[in-house]
Structure 1
Amino acid sequence: MNADRSTVIAERIQQRANEIFPEVVELRREIHRHPELAYEEVRTTALISETLIGFGITPEPPLLETGVVAVIRGGKKAANGKLVALRADIDALPLSESNEHGFCSMEKGKMHACGHDMHTAMLLGAARILVEMKEELEGDVLLVFQPAEEKAPGGAKPLLDAGLFTRFNPSAVFGQHCFPNVQTGKVAMCKGSFMAAADELYFTVTGQGGHASAPHKAADPILAAAHIITAVQHLVSRVVPPHEPAVVSIASIHGGNATNVIPSQVTMSGTMRTMNEEVRALLHHRLRQTVMHTAEALGVTAELEIRNGYPVLYNDPAVTTRAMTLCGEYLGKKNVIESEPLMTAEDFAYYLQACPGTFWQIGTGTPEPVKGNTLHSPTFNPEELALKTGSGLLAYTAIRFLGMP
């Protein structure tokens, strides 16, 4: 596609994204008013299906109990059957909203505090643009409205296990996530390892209780727990290579309920985050060793349960390079910035294990940062102008990527 043609397409999409912006805003607000937790997104699923049908897009038979999958068939069918997948997550978080705008959550203890309402509305906006411009599609577009990103094992892996990519076989997959630290109108992209593998750690330290005045007659699990907390920190500084990002954090500890009683058991929990699967496996092994031997040295026993979370999110370098070019064409090169790797986790990583693609940060922030406007906060309040950016950008990326050799 020549430069003039790509400019015409970009301008056409920008105009349409601007025209449908009020409707996309209302879709986002309706989803925001009625947040649903992971695996419970029945109302949201119905809204997505009804909206797509209204656009002339028929949802595919469901692969899971919630979520929607649909295909937009291109008017310029590629000889190789090329297909691009676009994904949005649809679930909310279990916390109460503290904002004061006119479309706050109506569901007690539930809130779209991670921007999934924004992601869903953006993909719906993109779907409308794409179906209206299907004559420009040199292939098909797979729309994936995925449930349960916020709760392990997530919705991505079950969708893949149910045959999502076996049935549709995309040549690339794209996704985006709201980030309030990136200014609205910009995107931040990263080649290679972008988000961390996040594993949950659960410790149980068992000793022998006794009177606090005679600790020598007890086997103190609190002292042992303190030593375990200190000992596991050396894994990052002395086991992981200095150039490899890794974090081990113990985030909770519970044991005892009196000032003069040494308890018999202490429980702790935390997280381990890594950007390299080999480092991840090494830390699993060394963490178990450290916990067991520290406990043994202090006369107690310790059990460690490691619950594997999402894998490392690895953006295919070649696809990401192409996507950066396309985003620059649509937004202007100055609005495409490079991101550092993040230690947050995302189950979009599973798609990237099955298919080359990329996942980027879409800006929802303002020039002057607003206190409390952070992800997973009860006062998270993304800039809605990002809906226009995100809808158009997904549509443009799909059209242009399908047209590339």
Structure 2
Amino acid sequence: MTPDRTSGLSMRIREQAEAVFPVIQAIRRDIHAHPELSYEEFRTSAIIHEYFKALGIEPEPQFLETGVVALLQGRAEGPLIALRADIDALPLSEENACAYSSQHPGTMHACGHDMHTAMLLGAASILAGMRDELSGSVLFIFQPAEEKAPGGARPLIEAGLFKRFNPSAVIGQHCFPNVPSGKVALCRGSFMAAADELYFTVSGQGGHASAPHKASDPVLAAAHIITAAQHLVSRVAPPHEPAVVSISSIQGGHAPNVIPSKVVMSGTMRTMNEDLRRLLHEKLHETVRHVGEGLGVEAEVEIRQGYPVLYNDPEITRHAAIACSEYLGRENVIDSEPLMTAEDFAYYLQEKPGTFWQIGTGLPEQDRSNMLHSPTFDPDENALSTGAGLLAYSAIRFMDYFAGEKG
């Protein structure tokens, strides 16, 4: 596609994104006021379902109890590009005071999934208006339960999503308040971490605190386990490989003069490399057991595997950066460093090539408390038109790319 054509296409889509903004802003505010937790997104799914019917697109039969998948077919056969948004909220009480604050105490869209949903609906509206010009098709995935392991992506895939559809690429985006509104940030390769939950149980022989020699102290053993777990990061993980082991909860005992018989702890392990992840799992089991044996207690760790490493295909991400630059201007496309947060979009990228970028929702004057998973998270709504237009433009440019254009 020539520069004149890309310029004309981007201008046209920006105009349509601005035109659809009031509609998707109203939907975002409605969803924000009525947040639903993972696998409870019935109202949200119904809104999405009706929106697509109004566009003349019949959603696919449900793969899961909640969530919506819809296919937009262009005028001609061509590549299939999948665009994904997540739709669930968090178990968190909102502290913002606005007309569309959460009406459900203890539940809030504090991670921007209401924004993601509205953006993808806006992209669907733009692309539906251009369906006679599309040389390919677009698959819209509104996925439930990103916030609750094992997430909604893997069950959706296991339910046959990619047996029914075979996209050439899967594209997603996530609101980030530390990225200025109007900009996007991309990262090639490993972008987000594998996240595993750690649950430790240390069992000994309780006794009087004045006679520790007559007890088998699980508190002392727990302290050594914490230190030994940090040793794994500093002496087992290569210095160039990011890894985090954090013990964030410890419970045991109830009196200052009583050695308890059991201590339980919990924490998290984050890695950016699946081979290192497996090695640390093995070493952590060995370390906990050996420390316990050396101190005369029984110690074990249960590792509950969470989302895998989110790996952005380098070539797809390179082309995404080109498309983003064409649409937003090169000055508004920045590089992102890898993040130790986790996302179940990683499961899609294990099956299909694709990329996941940060879309800016931050303002220069915003309060420092305006962070993801915060009760005061308040993204800039102008990002709705940015995100909707960028998804629509990127889908078309990826059709060009997979049809043979390598610009």
For normalisation by structure 1, the TM-score amounts to 0.98
SS at match of 2:300: strand
**2:220 matched residue in structure 1:** 223
Letter matched to residue 128 of structure 1 = S
Q: Is the 8 A contact 1:315 1:357 kept in 2?
A: yes
**How far did residue 298 of structure 1 move?**
0.7
SS at match of 1:383: coil
Output the CA distance in 2 between the equivalents of 1:203 and 1:156. 28
Output the CA distance in 2 between the equivalents of 1:72 and 1:151. 29
2:28 is aligned with 1:31: no
2:93 is aligned with 1:96: yes
**How far did residue 304 of structure 1 move?**
0.8
2:246 is aligned with 1:249: yes
SS at match of 2:307: coil
**How far did residue 368 of structure 1 move?**
2.9
Q: 1:237 aligns with which of 225, 228, 234?
A: 234
1:165-184 matched pairs, under 5 angstroms: 165-184=162-181
Output the CA distance in 2 between the equivalents of 1:136 and 1:245. 45
Output the CA distance in 2 between the equivalents of 1:257 and 1:95. 29
**How far did residue 138 of structure 1 move?**
1.0
2:114 is aligned with 1:117: yes
**How far did residue 212 of structure 1 move?**
1.1
Q: Is the 8 A contact 1:137 1:403 kept in 2?
A: no
1:383-398 matched pairs, under 5 angstroms: 383-398=380-395
Please give the root-mean-square deviation of Cα atoms over the aligned residues, in Å.
0.7
SS at match of 2:106: coil
Letter matched to residue 364 of structure 1 = T
Q: What are structure 2's unaligned runs of at least 5 residues?
A: none
1:265-284 matched pairs, under 5 angstroms: 265-284=262-281
Output the CA distance in 2 between the equivalents of 1:108 and 1:97. 7
SS at match of 1:65: coil
SS at match of 1:233: helix
1:199-214 matched pairs, under 5 angstroms: 199-214=196-211
SS at match of 1:108: coil
SS at match of 1:150: coil
**How far did residue 272 of structure 1 move?**
0.2
**How far did residue 136 of structure 1 move?**
2.5
Output the CA distance in 1 between the equivalents of 2:63 and 2:96. 35
1:74-89 matched pairs, under 5 angstroms: 74-78=74-78, 82-89=79-86
1:4-403 matched pairs, under 5 angstroms: 4-78=4-78, 82-403=79-400
Q: Is the 8 A contact 1:197 1:275 kept in 2?
A: yes
**How far did residue 77 of structure 1 move?**
2.5
Letter matched to residue 394 of structure 1 = L
Output the CA distance in 2 between the equivalents of 1:169 and 1:336. 29
Deviations 1:163-185 (A, max 9, x none): 10121100000000000000000
SS at match of 2:195: strand
Output the CA distance in 2 between the equivalents of 1:186 and 1:370. 19
Name the % identity.
Answer: 69
Q: What are structure 1's unaligned runs of at least 5 residues?
A: none
**How far did residue 150 of structure 1 move?**
0.4
Output the CA distance in 1 between the equivalents of 2:329 and 2:56. 32
For normalisation by structure 2, the TM-score amounts to 0.98
Output the CA distance in 2 between the equivalents of 1:166 and 1:334. 39
SS at match of 2:326: helix
Output the CA distance in 2 between the equivalents of 1:371 and 1:136. 44
**How far did residue 2 of structure 1 move?**
1.8
Deviations 1:171-228 (A, max 9, x none): 0000000000000000000000000000000000000111111111111111110110
Letter matched to residue 38 of structure 2 = A
**How far did residue 370 of structure 1 move?**
1.5
Output the CA distance in 2 between the equivalents of 1:175 and 1:240. 30
Letter matched to residue 399 of structure 1 = I
Letter matched to residue 120 of structure 2 = L
Letter matched to residue 230 of structure 1 = T
Letter matched to residue 198 of structure 1 = A
Output the CA distance in 1 between the equivalents of 2:356 and 2:104. 30
